[in-house]
Copies of this chain bind each other. A is one copy, B any other.
């Protein structure tokens, strides 16, 4: 299975001095579950650093379906792709659970880059890894079946964050399939003793074989 890297480290967190500088310029915001940090189409004015909680980047396709592009947990950064590309956001950022973020204005980011070139390189590396993840996702969408993608998603999401209950819909939006297919696949996995479902909860029982299931 392609391991989707979970990078929880703060992109800015290395230098004590840097941390102090950030303290100066940051603006704290709180969002409750479902809250919208920014919307597709808006112009990026800066970056959002996730302090606590979990956010998803959600794109609505032309036919009205929602797809989850990326997930960002504590230490992660929101809004950098559009900011650096100098484009409007092409996805919305939504809090999956109660979330605290710090906003850093664009000028401050640029100033930071100027003062600490290593940070720029850090972002370069980060974007490069995101690009790989996205390209891998495309390939898997092509030549893996829905069950494999669901297995993969279960593994990834469970590792990514203890966000207790991923709904079947959320899993579907991450896996690139429909809610119904996720449900039927989970039923099948349960029959094979790979997972156990208690109400809405999903528990992975046999991680080993689930990994195999994601690969076949």
Residues of A within 8 A of B (CB): 59, 61-63, 65, 67, 69, 80-87, 90-91, 113-114, 117, 120-121, 123-125, 127-132, 134-143, 176, 215
Contact = CB atoms under 8 A, between A and B. Distances in A.
A91 B139 CA distance: 12
Contacts of A62: 143, 215
Q: Counting chain B CB atoms within 10 Å of each CB, which of A63, A84, A117 scores highest? A: A84
A194 B91 CA distance: 32
B61 A124 contact: no
A128 B81 contact: yes
Contact of A142 (B67, B121, B127): B67
Given A117-B113, A124-B127, A141-B141, A132 B65 contact: no
12 contacts: A62-B215, A63-B143, A67-B139, A84-B127, A85-B125, A86-B125, A87-B132, A117-B117, A120-B121, A130-B131, A141-B141, A141-B142
A82 B117 contact: no
The CB with the most chain B CB atoms within 10 A, among A113, A121, A131, is that of: A131
B130 A120 contact: no
Contacts of A117: 113-114, 117, 120
Given A69-B135, A141-B141, 19 more contacts: A59-B135, A59-B139, A61-B139, A62-B143, A62-B215, A65-B143, A81-B131, A84-B128, A85-B128, A85-B132, A90-B132, A90-B135, A91-B135, A113-B120, A113-B121, A114-B117, A127-B128, A130-B131, A134-B138
Contact of A131 (B63, B114, B127): B127
Contacts of A120: 113, 117, 120-121, 124
